[in-house]
Structure 1
């Protein structure tokens, strides 16, 4: 019995051992089977050694140095960025994106020995060379990503060999020429990314035959400047899998468009047909069958709508700006998923319907540039739209009463309406308020004194061109302010010192008020201040103080004209104004949403300035170009500071109507970008520096009403000026004035110079005439004396010997 039991146990143990060994063998076999092949490992290690790895990638960003972790004594299928086929051990995926690789991608690179790659991702490395034809040898590729690799030259035609490709990314490179025709072979391509690839030539119409494409991004290239013209190709209807289509700004040359071509694109989620320049009228109901459509922009197209129209329920963004709509679109009442609505720049009159604010997901509403006069329902109707973020009602005919807004409101744009009375205190309850623009209305009373008293996030306060009075109080200033425009009101008192706490302040405009204060030199401590406009107030006193730095490092527009500033500007005054002395890249430095509408329905800053003899308005991106100093209409005296010559990027300089004395600094010729120079109505003396004739961009200049003298410098720009630009300078002469120089004009001056030259020539001739005989006589006498001296010496020698 015991023997039988032991025998049974042995049998069980033997069975377990067999199972264990079998499993181990299977695992071992499986492990061995998954090891990458030697030829694949060698190819990878050789590929690694073709490049050097730097500390930072090409964008100066820390990435992942994947290849530095590869070791020869380990399974290459476990290396970072490598995936292998579990059955064959061949490398099928190589992902070295942002791996600090530096060096050219050679035509004989070991990379091309990895013949079974399905996915090759090498984006954001620095290959700095051409894309070799050998790329076409990787014929099994499904994904090829070479974006931002500093590649240049032509895209090789061998790309057409990669017929399995579904995703191709060559964006952000420096390619030249057109896409090769062979790209038409990529009939399985679903995504094509060519943004900012520097491609040129004709639009690659071959792409329109790729029926599997769902996404094409060709933005920021040079395809005839991407100004597509002519009919929209109806072959677009073949792209049945497309979910994103942007044909905005296509110039059909006012031709008719058959919008039915879009009905086949049943997968569309995003469609932008804005401003395609057609005379066709579009029946909006045509898009009803597109059940996936969530973004639709038909701006600039004449629309036909009806009250029974029903668009797909998942619509999130609807933009119908400039569509010649005369009635509020009633079909919107059923758009319960609507998130963003823009019906600006139409012909809609009357009141905004009350039902609009009951749409549960509505966050952004732009109904600007219409003829709305009010809101249906009680004054608090908008408050029912509990999560409203932005409301733009500017450029309408809204009047009292002012609407109550939900606490969630972040951006409220109500400029160019007929609002009157005081701004209601309820505005102070909007704790999320970032942007408040109420310019060009009839508001009166004081600026709300509540923005300092709570944790406000207000960064934009524009109350321009109203009837606000009283002081600009300390309590009206939020420390988060980036842009302040309270110009053209009746504000008095001093500039609020609490502005010194606004470390993000970039734009400050208080022009055309009656503010009485000394120059706010303390504003120089604001690190971001770029535009300072104090024009037409009652500021007074000096703008420079002994021992105090006047450096405004970021300032690009400085307008303190039409005040009572006085004193002498020291020679070093403009030293340290670095933004005007060098080229700087201005990106997102001014909030682009405040005074003139941009593409997003927001606003941009605006400033009125005097340039080229007339007033102009700078709006939006123009701020990045103009660098201006205007100190005209004050009581400054002394010389023009020599340091102004350091401001080499200055475009407009106006120092007129002061009491500047001394001469015009010749160093002004360093201002090679100057387009407008006004030094009129001062007490300047001496000559106009002839060096100013070198300023080829100087289109307008004014030296009138000074004490200048001498000939006007000759130069194309100066001679093209009107005589009034030099008037009332009794000592000036020459073109374009009537007064000739030296009594005989330029001709007399020329004769005088020629006479002087002739006299010099005659003097040299006379000297030469006298010099030659003298030289001959001298040599003759010298020869005689030398001969005589030799003879005399020989006689003495013979006497003693």
Structure 2
């Protein structure tokens, strides 16, 4: 009995514990109503694995959190659900990256969760739903994140009715608008907010000064890509608790970096304005980087790209906690300061796209923690310092677009963690060091546009992780090493524009082993003989360029069976024979993905195959010996933008099916035997910019047949050396709007490109034909010479203010020579004489304000010889 009494108390306690454990193990913490609310919410959406971007999700993109939500299981154990340990109420819901796809209902059962304190719906796709005003029912909410979830419309004012909100993230909902009145409510009512992330919202109507009324407790403010304009008060830098601040994106923004009294707790500062092409934007942050930047002793992340000028202050070396520094895309100049070597915690250093000069300081080798170093696109010179070899943690190194000279230091091979090395566009010379073979982690090696000589080292075959090898535009010679066959991961290989053995080496056949290759460029190397048959193994090729060599023989049949080929360049070789000899009958039938085909400047003969793939945007068969009709049809939906058949022996008529090519920009069939009247039906091709029908057998009138504007984008028209008659095509000329544009930027002209293919055209200058390898967008010309046009030169020609070339010679045009003063104009070209210049026509041009540059060859030769004084410019005008 006494023994039982001694044991009874512990046994009773154990019994009670076991009973309670059993009770709690069978009781659901989550309330039945809240579980039903979540299950009902689940039915509002489908699971779509494109709805969440895996690049921003921290788990494999093959699982949605709501898949674990099942009836009969405690909802507090569901993925993304957190409950209060005492009450069992759901207090946190994290459904970020859950692949939710569908419209967010305004009456969602989610609003039944009145105890919710944290809600994260980021990185889903709610299909441009509005954020429901009912969100104000979450009166206990402290954290709200709906970033990158495809919400649209206006930010509801009701968010300001969440008085306990500490963090709010609405960022990167690109169709979401925050208006001034809503921002005012947010600022007034969210007195507890610490983190405010609004990047990517549209705030075109917001005055930046409203942000100064935010709580002084603010620690994070993100306002990147918000389309803000005007002056952002720099008092933001004096917020006593501010740790993270980002501002910028496209737009006219100004914020002056203070000269003193910075926010000392600042850890993360991002002020960058770039457009989509990564050029300097309009943001201005005070022009100079002040010495006071060194006062920010807590700074860990600094990125400034806002038109800064001058030098980097030496005080930047005081930022001992800095791990990330980017001053790229500014106008900074001077030398890179040696004080950067004091930033021993730095892991990323980006100074690209500035105007830094001089050498890289040898002390940069002190930055032993660096993993990324980008000094590209500056004016740096001297040799690459051997101290870079001390950066043993470096994985990314870009020194491209500078003026470095001398050899690559052999010690670079000690940086064995490198995965990307770019030394392109410099003046580096000598041989490619074999020590690069030590960089066995390299995936990308870019050495193009330098002066490297000698052979490619055979040891390059050790770089078995390489996916991209770019060596074009050097002076490399010798044989292409067979060890390239070891680079089985290679997808991009460019060896163009070098001086490799003129005979195609047997070792090039090893390239056929690179089964992953998608881009192969071997152009401009004087390779001769036939294309190695081993290249037929490259079934993943999308881009193949063998242009500007001495390759000969017939085109191998296998080249027309590469299933994924999109770009094929075989121009400027010595290929012979026919191209329609293969089966099936049309070689193009296998090219279902082909976008660009360039076989120009060869000796190909016979008929052109009669079918084109709809995918084709450029077809260049110029300078061959093709004959017969243009028999191939242009299907409905034809995507052709550039058709060049110049310099062949083709006859017949232009096929009317060309009108199906609605996007056609360049049509050149010059120097053939094509006949018929002027193809007026080309008027329907409103994107046409270049039309060349020269040296054919066209005849008849060139007058427009319709009243509506024709050829509004035409910039080059060449109808010379045909049998066109009647008056000049006045109605066409008066619609050449592209030749009347006075506002083109002639200081930085661009070349006309079609699908990244640089267009060319043949022009006549002083009786000789020249092929312009590129057509500048500011170039415009009209050639109507050697026809039978008659009548007077119309005044409308004087409106063509952008005209660079006009040739009306050898026609039956009538003009009346009159006295002419050309004072206060700008005549380019030869100063001594103007040969064959019709003064009446010149007067019309000058009267309209046309500036005649060196490219203007207004040769209006007539059967007369006259000498006439021309005031202000030349003394003798001879027309012969």
Q: Is 1:457 paired with 2:465?
A: yes
Residues paired across the two proteins, number: 688
* 1:14 paired residue among 1, 8, 11: 8
Q: How far did 1:140 drift?
A: 0.6
- Which position in structure 1 is the counterpart of 2:344? 336
Q: C-alpha distance in 2, partners of 1:694/1:199?
A: 42
Report matched runs for 1:538-553 at 5 Å: 538-543=550-555, 545=557, 548=558, 550-551=560-561
The change in CA–CA distance for 1:21 and 1:52 in structure 2 (over 3 A counts) is same
Q: How far did 1:139 drift?
A: 0.7
* 2:44 paired residue among 41, 51, 56: 51
Q: How far did 1:744 drift?
A: 11
- Which position in structure 1 is the counterpart of 2:142? 142
- Which position in structure 1 is the counterpart of 2:186? 183
The change in CA–CA distance for 1:542 and 1:243 in structure 2 (over 3 A counts) is farther
Q: C-alpha distance in 1, partners of 2:483/2:623?
A: 32
Q: Is the CA contact (8 Å cut-off) linking 2:76 and 2:90 kept in structure 1?
A: yes
- Which position in structure 2 is the counterpart of 1:389? 395
1:132-169 per-residue CA deviation (whole Å, 9 max, x = no partner) reads 22111111112233345554433322111112122334
The change in CA–CA distance for 1:198 and 1:635 in structure 2 (over 3 A counts) is farther
The change in CA–CA distance for 1:432 and 1:639 in structure 2 (over 3 A counts) is farther
Structure 2 residue matching 1:259: 3-state secondary structure = coil
Q: C-alpha distance in 1, partners of 2:163/2:97?
A: 27
The change in CA–CA distance for 1:691 and 1:102 in structure 2 (over 3 A counts) is same
The change in CA–CA distance for 1:98 and 1:293 in structure 2 (over 3 A counts) is closer
- Which position in structure 2 is the counterpart of 1:760? none
Q: C-alpha distance in 1, partners of 2:451/2:119?
A: 63
Q: Is the CA contact (8 Å cut-off) linking 1:629 and 1:652 kept in structure 2?
A: yes
* 1:287 paired residue among 267, 288, 294: 294
Q: C-alpha distance in 2, partners of 1:427/1:56?
A: 41
- Which position in structure 2 is the counterpart of 1:535? 547
Q: Is 1:83 paired with 2:82?
A: yes
* 2:362 paired residue among 350, 354, 359: 354
- Which position in structure 1 is the counterpart of 2:813? none
Normalising by structure 2, we get a TM-score of: 0.67
The change in CA–CA distance for 1:536 and 1:520 in structure 2 (over 3 A counts) is same
1:446-477 per-residue CA deviation (whole Å, 9 max, x = no partner) reads 3434434x353333333333333344454456
Q: Is the CA contact (8 Å cut-off) linking 1:214 and 1:241 kept in structure 2?
A: yes
- Which position in structure 2 is the counterpart of 1:501? 513
Q: C-alpha distance in 1, partners of 2:712/2:87?
A: 82
Report matched runs for 1:42-121 at 5 Å: 42-44=36-38, 46-48=40-42, 51=44, 53=46, 58=51, 62-64=62-64, 66=66, 69-71=69-71, 75-97=74-96, 104-121=103-120
- Which position in structure 1 is the counterpart of 2:719? 726
Q: Is the CA contact (8 Å cut-off) linking 1:679 and 1:702 kept in structure 2?
A: yes
- Which position in structure 2 is the counterpart of 1:246? 246
Q: How far did 1:8 drift?
A: 0.4
The change in CA–CA distance for 1:484 and 1:363 in structure 2 (over 3 A counts) is same
User: Which structure is larger by alpha-carbon Rg, 1 or 2?
Assistant: 1
Q: Is the CA contact (8 Å cut-off) linking 1:637 and 1:658 kept in structure 2?
A: yes
Q: How far did 1:126 drift?
A: 5.5
Q: Is the CA contact (8 Å cut-off) linking 1:209 and 1:238 kept in structure 2?
A: no
Q: C-alpha distance in 2, partners of 1:349/1:476?
A: 37
The change in CA–CA distance for 1:397 and 1:54 in structure 2 (over 3 A counts) is closer
Q: C-alpha distance in 1, partners of 2:439/2:32?
A: 68
Q: Is 1:403 paired with 2:415?
A: no
Structure 2 residue matching 1:667: 3-state secondary structure = helix
Q: C-alpha distance in 1, partners of 2:571/2:26?
A: 84
Q: Is 1:642 paired with 2:632?
A: yes
Q: How far did 1:554 drift?
A: 4.7
Q: Is the CA contact (8 Å cut-off) linking 2:345 and 2:367 kept in structure 1?
A: yes
The change in CA–CA distance for 1:635 and 1:740 in structure 2 (over 3 A counts) is closer
Which ranges in structure 2 are unaligned for 5 or more consecutive residues? 54-60, 274-279, 601-614, 730-783, 793-880
Q: Is the CA contact (8 Å cut-off) linking 1:706 and 1:728 kept in structure 2?
A: yes
1:593-615 per-residue CA deviation (whole Å, 9 max, x = no partner) reads xxxxxxxxxxxxxxx999xxxxx
- Which position in structure 1 is the counterpart of 2:496? 487
Structure 1 residue matching 2:349: 3-state secondary structure = strand
Q: C-alpha distance in 2, partners of 1:37/1:424?
A: 70
- Which position in structure 1 is the counterpart of 2:587? 573
* 2:667 paired residue among 659, 677, 683: 677
Q: C-alpha distance in 1, partners of 2:684/2:422?
A: 47
Q: Is the CA contact (8 Å cut-off) linking 1:215 and 1:242 kept in structure 2?
A: yes
Structure 2 residue matching 1:487: 3-state secondary structure = coil
Structure 1 residue matching 2:93: 3-state secondary structure = strand
- Which position in structure 2 is the counterpart of 1:633? 623
Question: Larger % of helix: which?
Answer: 1
The change in CA–CA distance for 1:239 and 1:644 in structure 2 (over 3 A counts) is farther
Q: How far did 1:204 drift?
A: 6.7
The change in CA–CA distance for 1:537 and 1:293 in structure 2 (over 3 A counts) is same
Q: Is the CA contact (8 Å cut-off) linking 2:691 and 2:714 kept in structure 1?
A: yes
What RMSD in Å do the two structures reach over aligned CA positions? 4.3
Q: Is the CA contact (8 Å cut-off) linking 1:516 and 1:538 kept in structure 2?
A: yes
Structure 1 residue matching 2:405: 3-state secondary structure = coil
- Which position in structure 2 is the counterpart of 1:313? 320
Structure 1 residue matching 2:332: 3-state secondary structure = coil
The change in CA–CA distance for 1:100 and 1:484 in structure 2 (over 3 A counts) is closer
The change in CA–CA distance for 1:664 and 1:217 in structure 2 (over 3 A counts) is farther
1:217-270 per-residue CA deviation (whole Å, 9 max, x = no partner) reads 5556xx4xx2x44323224225544443333467667x7824247711523234
Bigger Cα displacement from structure 2, 434-443 vs 634-643 = 634-643
Structure 2 residue matching 1:139: 3-state secondary structure = coil
Q: How far did 1:115 drift?
A: 1.5
Q: Is 1:697 paired with 2:687?
A: yes
Structure 2 residue matching 1:565: 3-state secondary structure = strand
Q: C-alpha distance in 2, partners of 1:335/1:529?
A: 45
Q: How far did 1:9 drift?
A: 1.9
Q: C-alpha distance in 2, partners of 1:395/1:136?
A: 54
Q: C-alpha distance in 2, partners of 1:86/1:151?
A: 33
The change in CA–CA distance for 1:16 and 1:168 in structure 2 (over 3 A counts) is same
The change in CA–CA distance for 1:117 and 1:152 in structure 2 (over 3 A counts) is same
Q: C-alpha distance in 2, partners of 1:531/1:411?
A: 22
- Which position in structure 1 is the counterpart of 2:163? 163
Q: C-alpha distance in 2, partners of 1:344/1:116?
A: 50
Q: How far did 1:98 drift?
A: 5.3
Q: How far did 1:706 drift?
A: 2.8
Report matched runs for 1:628-777 at 5 Å: 628-640=618-630, 642=632, 648-686=638-676, 689-709=679-699, 712=702, 714=704, 716=709, 718=711, 725-730=718-723, 736=729, 737=784
Q: C-alpha distance in 2, partners of 1:87/1:487?
A: 72
Structure 2 residue matching 1:406: 3-state secondary structure = helix
Q: C-alpha distance in 1, partners of 2:514/2:713?
A: 46
* 2:526 paired residue among 492, 514, 525: 514
1:82-139 per-residue CA deviation (whole Å, 9 max, x = no partner) reads 3332333333223445556666544444332322111233445565543322111111
Q: C-alpha distance in 2, partners of 1:381/1:723?
A: 55
Q: C-alpha distance in 1, partners of 2:34/2:434?
A: 73
Which ranges in structure 1 are unaligned for 5 or more consecutive residues? 1-6, 583-607, 611-624, 746-801
Q: Is the CA contact (8 Å cut-off) linking 1:232 and 1:252 kept in structure 2?
A: no
Q: C-alpha distance in 1, partners of 2:357/2:174?
A: 51
